[in-house]
Amino acid sequence: MSTLAGKPVEKLTEHEAARELERLAEEIAAHDRAYYQEDRPKISDAEYDALRKRNAAIEARFPRLIRPDSPSHRVGARPSEKFAKVVHAVPMLSLDNAFDDQDVTDFVGRVRRFLGWGDDKPLVFVAEPKIDGLSASLRYENGLFVQGATRGDGTEGEDITANLRTIKDVPLRLAGKAPKIMEVRGEVYMTHANFAALNKRQEKEGKQTYANPRNSAAGSVRQLDPAITAARALNFFAYAWGEASALPADTQWGMLQQFKAWGFQVNPLIRRCETVQAVLKFYREIESRRAGLGYDIDGVVYKVDRLDLQERLGFVSRSPRWAIAHKFPAEQAETVLLKIDIQVGRTGKLTPVARLKPVNVGGVVVENATLHNEDEIARLDAREGDTVIIQRAGDVIPQVVRVIREKRPRSAKPYEMPRKCPICGSHAVREVDEKTGEEEVDRRCTGGLICAAQAVERLKHFVGRDAFDIEGLGGTYIETLYDAGLLKEPSDIFALTRKQAELDRVLREKRAEQSAERRAREGKAAPGSKAKRKDEGESKLIENLITSINNRREIALDRFINALGIRHVGETNARLLARNFHTIGEFMAAMEGKDALEQLNAIGGIGDVVAEAIKDFFDEPHNRKVLAHLLKEVDVRPMAAPKVSGSPVAGKTVVFTGTLEKMTRQEAKARAESLGAKTAGSVSKKTDLVVAGPGAGSKLAEAQKLGVKVIDEATWLKMIEGL
């Protein structure tokens, strides 16, 4: 016991107070572990409360001395006005999904082929329940918790440090020895019992209840007031890591054991499996126990155990090659298809949407479901008035699975897709593929830029989470501002910051119109004194919106390309383009050149269809004009090449051809990219190096014709040896 323990708080010097706060933080953390993790409390509740009370008293007298691992963080701190953004040092990538046994078998086969391993070589996986919660990343420096963030878009998340500190499963100080920097990742979730208790409190207090534990956990951890989060009884399972100055283990399993030693909760059901059969047996076991776990899971995750193999396997697009999520079958429900509406997307695609009689599916009330396209409607023979089975595909996107024909009303008529756009009246056609001569599956509006739906949807895409991510500028605002003439193209969004008075007027008029309509429906009188307070609140919302817009005047190249809404170019292809061209200037210059298609086709992963769509976009004068306006408003950050010390291939374009003997072609490409190289699928005058193995054919001939440097596999391996 410290000699300071009995000294009155008012008599402590600042130096003594700092020492006492350090002691209390360590002692209270130890008691928390004994109580919450080991179920073996070492002191009475009264003694524990006395320790926390003393800690609070010292902090009140010496607020400058509050520690990052202070126990006071567990009960919340001062509310935040908004969440700051956090750029992840190591991206938080998503997982590919498997939906049946064959998908899992195929995954294991892909891993073995990439590594060049036969079926007889042992390959161990770690299998773990996939928690249905909110992903979070916790950064520790010298063992102290200093920052926590949401996953966000995988590259950038929200700073929720204060809220994560309130969760008892999150150690504020790691027990034992820890690396200088350690970023622990996992899932914030809410148990069924705590979810039921929360909804009971919400209902009693006349507040809105939550649809399911996942939404409840996500909403709770994103409260601006950490005291609210503290009252929500959240939990956290650790299962992964991001940036680390050193790793204490060489296997996934070993890392999980270290997490437990540091004071984290690790799911006790996690198991090591040495065969595909063992993996699938574990899946069946977890599926049968799912309902009784006390928390929500939506599948099982399989990860290659050895970390050196994880490093060799690397990543493809935005997911690791060494892991996959085996999802549980989607939950289904029966309801009535009331109406089929048509939505027009940013590329002109007409998507039929089923408007449903509201029904609960897996804890979520579903009112709408996709019908995909007219071929799918014909296959289902779906008609308005039908009784249908719906499911949440992957437990996320509602879709119509089948029609119960024996319940069909006599008045139900076959559905016909409109031949004209319901928004602008232009012809809606199914384009013909020039190469195959077959009709495309989707019907599209031919109105292009004269179609308001396409313009509005493009703007919605532009501000979306995977693009510019402008908080507060939702679909309703965009529609209102478009109708008012304030938004026509992306650059107009940034011009709004110079039109605050006009923006304020339009939004006030819209709110007044909506209020009048609502009062008319409800038969209520005109508003009274509350109107002024609402006006003040709306002014604050507009100020926040302008701040959000200004905060997004700088953007990464891949997000910028994705935001442009080029057909067939989403997150994955945008990232491929950004990695290849590095800057917006280089990208635009290449697209204006005569060999644009050649350059695009040389990028691994960019096929003919995507290349043509990109070229078509830049060939359109209007698009180039819109892009020029936009670049006057924003700065586009270059796509940084991987930081590779001494790499002889950084920035070079490499093509592999022929048979490689020491590694698979896939692994060779992944290794080259990890060293900062760009890999291409064909040889062009932009190619810097061709690695040719036995059996090299046309690519080798093209390289020799163009005078491109050619080496064999042995020379390649010697070149990258030790890197």
What residues act catalytically?
130
Instruction: Give dist(CA 58, CA 61) in Å, integer.
Output: 5
CB-based contact 329:393 (threshold 8 Å): no
Q: Which amino acid is at 210?
A: Y
Q: In the 8-state DSSP scheme, what is residue 246?
A: -
Q: Provide the angle, in degrees to the nearest 10, between the axes of the packed helices 665-674 and 101-115.
A: 70
Radius of gyration in angstroms for the set of CA atoms belonging to the chain, rounded to a whole number: 29
Instruction: Give dist(CA 90, CA 155) in Å, integer.
Output: 8
Token digits of residue 679: 């890999």
Reported for 274-277, long-range contacts at CB under 8 A and 24+ positions apart, including other chains, are 274/122, 274/123, 274/124, 274/125, 276/104, 276/105, 276/108
Instruction: Give dist(CA 596, CA 614) in Å, integer.
Output: 9
Instruction: Give dist(CA 647, CA 263) in Å, integer.
Output: 39
Instruction: Give dist(CA 241, CA 184) in Å, integer.
Output: 4
Residue 250 phi, psi dihedral angles, 5° rounding: -115, 10
CA atoms within 13 A on the CB side of 140: 27
Cross-strand pairs, 302: 127, 324
Sheet holding 653-657, edge to edge: 678-679, 653-657, 689-692, 709-711
Pairing of strands 350-361, 364-370: antiparallel
Helix (H) or strand (E) holding 117: none
CA atoms within 13 A on the CB side of 10: 0
Token digits of residue 503: 């923006």
Instruction: Give dist(CA 257, CA 524) in Å, integer.
Output: 62
Instruction: Give dist(CA 23, CA 7) in Å, integer.
Output: 14
Residue 624 phi, psi dihedral angles, 5° rounding: -65, -35
Q: In the 8-state DSSP scheme, what is residue 497?
A: G
Q: In 50-203, where do the E strands start and end?
A: 85-87, 97-98, 125-131, 134-141, 144-150, 156-158, 181-189
Distances (CA, A) of 50 to 59, 65, 76: 14, 20, 19
Residues across the chain: 723
- DSSP output for 512-555: HHHHHHHHHHHTPPPP-THHHHHHHHHHHHHHHHHHHHHHTSEE
Three-state secondary structure call for residue 454: helix
Task: Please choose, from the candidates 466, 467, 464, 462, the residue with its C-alpha nearest in 3D space to the C-alpha of residue 493.
Answer: 462
Q: How many CB atoms lie within 10 A of CB 227?
A: 15
Instruction: Give dist(CA 368, CA 342) in Å, integer.
Output: 12
